[in-house]
Each structure stands twice: as structure tokens, then as C-alpha cells.
Amino acid sequence: MSHFDQELDARGLNCPLPILRAKKALKDLSVGQVLRIVATDPGSVKDFEAFAEQTGNELLESSESGDEFHFLLKKT
């Protein structure tokens, strides 16, 4: 497991809620800090890729474990 500064539990939330919650959580982080997101919405994989591209934040990791999706987003 990689290092992260804050964790966001977005399990049970459907698009666009995981992205909206992540956007809000990133506002509270400093540049260079990492947010870990745990989601259950299969659509969140493409959503977080697009979110990182659009916002310039770095998607460090995207993985799947059972019915959960884990993301590491670095604030830039």
C-alpha cells in the first residue's frame, strides 16, 4: 500500500458523487499530498482518469480489489 495523507470512503456512492467528494477533499490538502479514494461504482475508474486529466492532479494508482476500486490522487 502506497503512502497517502487522507482517505475518502466513497463506497455506495454513484457518479458524480465520488468525484465531487474527491474534489472537495483535495481542496483541504496541500500541493504534493495524496488522497486515497475507495469507491464501489465501476464507472469511477473512467471518471477518476478523466478528473485527473481535466484538473491536472496526478492519478498515481488505480486498482481493483473485489467489488472495490482504489485510487491515489496527488494534488498538484
Q: Which residue out of 5, 6, 13, 15 is catalytically annotated?
A: 15
Retrieve residue 7's grid coordinates.
482517505
d(CA 59, CA 73): 5
19 is catalytic: no
Please list, in sequence order, all residues whose beta carbon lies within 8 angstroms of the beta carbon of residue 30, skipping any fewer than 6 positions away: 75
Question: What amino acid positions are annotated as catalytic residues?
Answer: 15
